C-alpha cells in the first residue's frame, strides 16, 4: 500500500501518455524517486526499469491490461499535502545561505561514482551557475535540491534546514524546477499554467496566465494560445509554458536545467530578463547552462564541476581571477 499522502495524490488529475519503453526507462531514471504502486510496477515495468525505489516527482501508474506502453502519470509535485514534518519556513533556523550543499556524494546502482563530496553555497537572491562538461554531474546536483533523488541526510540544506527533513511536497512548491525537456500535462496551455495554484484552491485569471506566459518568453500570449493543446506546441513553446507553470507557484528558489536550450536568441533574452527581474524580487536561482555567455549575463556566483567533483566555486569575479588554467578555460567559454 502506498503512503496515504500519495494515495491522495492519485486523485489528482492524471495524464495519459503513449511512450516507448526507452522513454519509460528515461522517465524513471530521470526521476528515480517516483512513488508507484509496486504491484503494477512489477507487472509492467520491471523489464524496463531497475529503480523502483522512490518517485517524488510524479506517480506513474501502469494499466492492468492492454498496452504496456501507455503510462498514466499522476503529477503530485505541485500539490500541497499535509506536512509530515516541519517545512523550512516554520523552522526558526536562520541561515546566510539559501542553499547549502555539504559533501554531497552519489554512487550509481552499478557502483560507479556520480558525485564525490560536492559542496557549494548559494546566497538568497543569487543566481548561481552550475557549469561543467556533459556528464560532470550538474543535473544530479540540481535534482538533489528538490529531492528528485534522495540526497543523504545532512548534505543539502535550504534556509539552513536539512531538505530530507522537510515535507517533500512543500519543498517542491518552494523550490521549483524547470527541466531541459518540458514535461507538460495533457490538455490546454492554460490548464498547465493554472495547475499548481488550482491545487491550493486558487484560480488564476486569464490575464494572470497571460502575464506568466509573457514572463516566460511567449510573445503576445492571447486567448488562442491559452486554449491551445500542449500537443500542438513547439519544443521551445513547451519549455516556456513549463517555466510559466513553475512561476505560477511563486517559488522562492528556481532550479533551471538548461532552460533556454530550445529557444531562439530573442526568447532566450526574454527568459534571462525574467530571471533577473525575479532575482531582484528575491528569487534564488540555480542555473545549469552550457552557455558561458548566459552564465556571465545573469549569474553572480558559479560552481564548476568536473567528473562529479567541484573544480572551483565562488563569485564569477573570483573564478575569473583564478590562476587555474582549467577554470579559466571554462569561465571564458573555451572548454565544455
Ligand X SMILES: Nc1ncnc2c1ncn2[C@@H]1O[C@H](COP(=O)(O)OP(=O)(O)OP(=O)(O)O)[C@@H](O)[C@H]1O
Residues near ligand X (CB under 6 A) are 29, 32, 108-109, 114, 132, 134-140
Backbone phi, psi, residue 210, to 5°: -65, -40
Smallest separation, CB 14 to ligand X (Å): 25
Residue 110, all three cell numbers: 552499478
Task: Pick between residue 129 and residue 137 the one whose CB is nearest to ligand X.
Answer: 137
Nearer to ligand X by Cβ, of 136 and 260: the residue is 136
Contact criterion met (CB below 8 Å) for 257 and 177: yes
114 versus 166: smaller Cβ distance to ligand X:
114
Instruction: Show the CA angle centred on residue 144, arms to residues 2 and 250, nearest 5°.
Output: 85
Do 62 and 79 contact (CB within 8 A), yes or no? no
Mapping DSSP to helix (H, G, I), strand (E, B) and coil, where does residue 276 land? helix
What's the closest the beta carbon of residue 65 comes to ligand X, in angstroms? 30
Backbone angles phi, psi at 85, to 5 degrees: -145, 170
C-alpha cell at 191: 490548464
Minimum distance between the CB of residue 273 and ligand X, rounded to whole angstroms?
24
- Closest listed residue to residue 19, CA positions, set 53, 60, 55: 60
Nearer to ligand X, 95 or 181 (CB): 181
For the record, the C-alpha cell of 17 comes out as 501518455
Which is closer to ligand X, CB of 14 or CB of 25? 25
User: What's the CA dihedral at 93, 201, 178, 140 to 10 degrees?
Assistant: 50
Torsion-angle region of 121 (φ positive above 0: left; ψ -120 to 50: alpha; else: beta): beta
Minimal distance in Å, beta carbon 119 to ligand X?
A: 16
For ligand X, the closer CB: 132 or 221 = 132
What is the C-alpha separation between 192 and 215, in angstroms, rounded?
15
Nearer to ligand X, 230 or 295 (CB): 295
CB of 138 to ligand X, least distance (A): 4
Quote the cell numbers at residue 140: 544530479
Q: Shortest Cβ distance from residue 301 to ligand X (Å)? A: 18
- CB 35 to ligand X: min, Å: 17
Least Å from the CB of residue 288 to ligand X: 6
With respect to ligand X, which residue has the nearer C-beta, 140 or 249?
A: 140
Q: Which residues share a beta bridge with 109?
A: none
Residue 291, C-beta contacts closer than 8 angstroms, at least 6 positions apart: 260, 333
Q: What's the longest Cα–Cα distance across the chain?
A: 62
Any idea which residue has 531514471 for its cell? 29
Amino acid at each position: 500500500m502506498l503512503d496515504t499522502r500519495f494515495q491522495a495524490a492519485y486523485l489528482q488529475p492524471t495524464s495519459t501518455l503513449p511512450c516507448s519503453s526507452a522513454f519509460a526507462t528515461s522517465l524513471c531514471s530521470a526521476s528515480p524517486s517516483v512513488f508507484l504502486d509496486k504491484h503494477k510496477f512489477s507487472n509492467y515495468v520491471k523489464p524496463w526499469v531497475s529503480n523502483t525505489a522512490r518517485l517524488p516527482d510524479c506517480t506513474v501508474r501502469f494499466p492492468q491490461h492492454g498496452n504496456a506502453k501507455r503510462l498514466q502519470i499522476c503529477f503530485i509535485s505541485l500539490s500541497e499535502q499535509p506536512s509530515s514534518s516541519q517545512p523550512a519556513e516554520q523552522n526558526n533556523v536562520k541561515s546566510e545561505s539559501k542553499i547549502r550543499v555539504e559533501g554531497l556524494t552519489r554512487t550509481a546502482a552499478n557502483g560507479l561514482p556520480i558525485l564525490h563530496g560536492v559542496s557549494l553555497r548559494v546566497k538568497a537572491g543569487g543566481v548561481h551557475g552550475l557549469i561543467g562538461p556533459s556528464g560532470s554531474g550538474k543535473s544530479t546536483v540540481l535534482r538533489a535540491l528538490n529531492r528528485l533523488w534522495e540526497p543523504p541526510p545532512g548534505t543539502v540544506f535550504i534556509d539552513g534546514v536539512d531538505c530530507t527533513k522537510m515535507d517533500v511536497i512543500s519543498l517542491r512548491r518552494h523550490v521549483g524546477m524547470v527541466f531541459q525537456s518540458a514535461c507538460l500535462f495533457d490538455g490546454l496551455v492554460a490548464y498547465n499554467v493554472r495547475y499548481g495554484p488550482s491545487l491550493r484552491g486558487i484560480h488564476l485569471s486569464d490575464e494572470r496566465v497571460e502575464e506568466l506566459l509573457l514572463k516566460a518568453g511567449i510573445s503576445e500570449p492571447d486567448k488562442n494560445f491559452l486554449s491551445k493543446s500542449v500537443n500542438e506546441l513547439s519544443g521551445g513553446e513547451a519549455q516556456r509554458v513549463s517555466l510559466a507553470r513553475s512561476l505560477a507557484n511563486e517559488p522562492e528558489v528556481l532550479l533551471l536545467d538548461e532552460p533556454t536550450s530550445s529557444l531562439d536568441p530573442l526568447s532566450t533574452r526574454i527568459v534571462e530578463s525574467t530571471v533577473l527581474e525575479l532575482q531582484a524580487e528575491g528569487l534564488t536561482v540555480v542555473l545549469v547552462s552550457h552557455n558561458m555567455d548566459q552564465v556571465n549575463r545573469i549569474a553572480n556566483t558559479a560552481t564548476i564541476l568536473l567528473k562529479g567533483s567541484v573544480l572551483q566555486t565562488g563569485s564569477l569575479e573570483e573564478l575569473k581571477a583564478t590562476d587555474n588554467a582549467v577554470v579559466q578555460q571554462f569561465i571564458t567559454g573555451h572548454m565544455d
